[in-house]
Structure 1
Amino acid sequence: MSKVRVKQEESLSIKFIHQMKVGDNRRLDLYFFLPKEMGIGPHSLNEEEYYHSAITGRRSYYSTGLHLPLVQSRFASQKKRTVEEFRLYLNLFAYQFAVAIETDSKELRQIEEPEEFFTALRDLSELVAQLLKKFRRNEPSDPKRKPYFENADNYLSWFCEQQLLKLLSRAPRGSEYSEMIETVVTQCRAERQHRDARRYNSQQTQDDPNRISNKMLLLRRLIQQGVVLKDELKTLGTGLKKMTTGFATAMVMLVVSALIIKAQGVFSGLTIALVLTLAVIYGFREIFKEDIRNALWRFIQKGRPKWSRILRDTTSQTAIAKQLVWLDFMKTSELPDPITDILKRRHSQNKLDAEVLHYGIHTRVTQKEFLTGYTSIQEQVNFSLVPFARYLERGKAKIYKESDGKISNDSVERRYQINMILALKNGKGETEYARYKVTMNRSTIIDISQSDIPEGIPLME
Structure 2
Amino acid sequence: MAKIRVKQEESLSIKFLHQMEVGDNRRLDLYFFLPKEMGINPQSLNEEEYYHSSITGRRSYYSSGLHLPLVQSRFVSQKKRTVEEFRLYLNLFAYQFSVAIETDSKELAQVEDLVQFYTSLEELSAQVIHLLKRFRRNEPSDEKWKSYFENADNYLSWLCEQRLLKLLAHAPRSSDYTEITESVVALCRAEADYRKEHKYNSSKTLEDANRIANKMHLLRRLIQQGVVLKEELKPLGIGLKKMTTGIATAMVMLVVSTLIIKAQGVFSGLTIALVLTLAVIYGFREIFKDDIRNALWRLIQRGRPRWSRLLTDTTSKLSIGKQLVWLDFMKKKELPPQVNQILKKRHSQNKVDAEILHYGIHSRVSAKGFLAGYSQIQEQVNFSFVPFARNLERGKAKIYKEHEGKISNESVERRYQVNLILVLKEGKDEPQYARYKITMNRSTIIEITESDLPSGMKNMDEAPFEDELLTPSATDAVEVKS
TM normalised by structure 1 equals 0.98
Q: Which residue of 2 aligns with 1:251?
A: 251
Q: Which residue of 2 aligns with 1:29?
A: 29
In percent, how many aligned pairs have the same letter?
A: 77
Tell whether the 8 Å contact from 1:233 to 1:307 is kept in structure 2 after alignment.
yes
- Give the 5 Å matches for 1:103-114: 103-114=103-114
Q: Distance in 2 between matches of 1:133 and 1:337?
A: 54
Shift of 1:75: 4.8
Letter in 2 for 1:332: K
Other structure's SS at 1:231 match: strand
Other structure's SS at 2:139 match: coil
Q: For structure 2, list consecutive stretches of 5 or more residues without a partner in the other structure.
A: 462-482
Q: Distance in 1 between matches of 2:444 and 2:109?
A: 14
Shift of 1:65: 1.4
Shift of 1:67: 2.8
Q: Distance in 1 between matches of 2:410 and 2:20?
A: 49
Other structure's SS at 1:342 match: helix
Q: Which residue of 2 aligns with 1:409?
A: 409
C-alpha spacing 1:336/1:280, structure 2 compared with 1 (3 Å): same
Tell whether the 8 Å contact from 1:114 to 1:172 is kept in structure 2 after alignment.
yes
Q: Distance in 2 between matches of 1:433 and 1:235?
A: 29
Q: Which residue of 2 aligns with 1:66?
A: 66
Other structure's SS at 1:201 match: coil
C-alpha spacing 1:437/1:76, structure 2 compared with 1 (3 Å): farther
Deviation track 1:25-81 (CA, whole Å, cap 9, x = no partner) reads 000000000000111000110000000000000110000012332399755754420
Letter in 2 for 1:45: L
Q: Distance in 2 between matches of 1:2 and 1:190?
A: 39
Letter in 1 for 2:276: L
C-alpha spacing 1:119/1:306, structure 2 compared with 1 (3 Å): same
C-alpha spacing 1:120/1:75, structure 2 compared with 1 (3 Å): farther
Tell whether the 8 Å contact from 2:28 to 2:360 is kept in structure 1 after alignment.
yes
C-alpha spacing 1:171/1:456, structure 2 compared with 1 (3 Å): same
Correspondence 1:150 to 2:172: no
Q: Which residue of 2 aligns with 1:383?
A: 383
Shift of 1:138: 1.1
Q: Distance in 2 between matches of 1:375 and 1:84?
A: 19
Q: Which residue of 2 aligns with 1:460?
A: 460
Tell whether the 8 Å contact from 2:71 to 2:139 is kept in structure 1 after alignment.
no
Shift of 1:432: 0.3
Deviation track 1:417-460 (CA, whole Å, cap 9, x = no partner) reads 00000000011111000000000000000010000110111111
Other structure's SS at 1:145 match: helix
Other structure's SS at 1:50 match: helix
Q: Which residue of 2 aligns with 1:292?
A: 292
Q: Which residue of 1 aligns with 2:82?
A: 82
Q: Which residue of 2 aligns with 1:188?
A: 188
Tell whether the 8 Å contact from 1:398 to 1:409 is kept in structure 2 after alignment.
yes
Correspondence 1:326 to 2:332: no
Q: Which residue of 2 aligns with 1:209?
A: 209
Q: Distance in 2 between matches of 1:223 and 1:279?
A: 64
Tell whether the 8 Å contact from 1:12 to 1:445 is kept in structure 2 after alignment.
yes
Q: Which residue of 2 aligns with 1:360?
A: 360
Deviation track 1:139-179 (CA, whole Å, cap 9, x = no partner) reads 11111101000000000000100011111111111111111
Shift of 1:99: 0.3
Deviation track 1:105-157 (CA, whole Å, cap 9, x = no partner) reads 00000011111111100110000000000000011111110100000000000
Shift of 1:2: 5.7
Shift of 1:373: 3.0
Of residues 361-370 and 439-448 in structure 1, the stretch that sits farther from structure 2 once superposed is 361-370
Tell whether the 8 Å contact from 1:8 to 1:448 is kept in structure 2 after alignment.
yes
Q: Distance in 2 between matches of 1:302 and 1:200?
A: 54
Q: Distance in 1 between matches of 2:412 and 2:37?
A: 18
Tell whether the 8 Å contact from 1:69 to 1:77 is kept in structure 2 after alignment.
no
Letter in 2 for 1:427: G
Deviation track 1:174-199 (CA, whole Å, cap 9, x = no partner) reads 11111111111111111111101110
Other structure's SS at 1:328 match: strand
Other structure's SS at 2:355 match: strand
C-alpha spacing 1:331/1:372, structure 2 compared with 1 (3 Å): same
Query: How many residues are matched?
Result: 461
Deviation track 1:318-352 (CA, whole Å, cap 9, x = no partner) reads 11010000000000010000000000000111100
C-alpha spacing 1:295/1:151, structure 2 compared with 1 (3 Å): same
Structure 1: which 4+ aligned runs deviate by more than 6 Å? none
Correspondence 1:344 to 2:344: yes
Tell whether the 8 Å contact from 2:2 to 2:460 is kept in structure 1 after alignment.
no
Tell whether the 8 Å contact from 1:29 to 1:360 is kept in structure 2 after alignment.
yes
Tell whether the 8 Å contact from 1:158 to 1:192 is kept in structure 2 after alignment.
yes
Q: Which residue of 1 aligns with 2:13?
A: 13
Tell whether the 8 Å contact from 1:89 to 1:373 is kept in structure 2 after alignment.
no
Other structure's SS at 2:447 match: strand
C-alpha spacing 1:128/1:73, structure 2 compared with 1 (3 Å): farther
Q: Distance in 2 between matches of 1:101 and 1:73?
A: 28
Letter in 1 for 2:270: L
Correspondence 1:314 to 2:343: no
Q: Which residue of 1 aligns with 2:469?
A: none
C-alpha spacing 1:171/1:73, structure 2 compared with 1 (3 Å): farther
Tell whether the 8 Å contact from 2:71 to 2:140 is kept in structure 1 after alignment.
no
Letter in 2 for 1:122: E
Shift of 1:86: 0.2
Q: Distance in 2 between matches of 1:72 and 1:361?
A: 42
Deviation track 1:263-312 (CA, whole Å, cap 9, x = no partner) reads 10110000011001101110111111011100100000010000000011
Q: Which residue of 1 aligns with 2:229?
A: 229
Q: Distance in 2 between matches of 1:455 and 1:76?
A: 55
Tell whether the 8 Å contact from 2:313 to 2:370 is kept in structure 1 after alignment.
no
Deviation track 1:365-399 (CA, whole Å, cap 9, x = no partner) reads 00115212323000000000000000000000000
C-alpha spacing 1:250/1:95, structure 2 compared with 1 (3 Å): same
Tell whether the 8 Å contact from 2:313 to 2:369 is kept in structure 1 after alignment.
no
Q: Which residue of 1 aligns with 2:479?
A: none
TM normalised by structure 2 equals 0.94
Q: Which residue of 2 aligns with 1:276?
A: 276
Q: Distance in 1 between matches of 2:75 and 2:410?
A: 62
Which has the bigger relative contact order, CA under 8 A and spacing at least 6?
A: 2
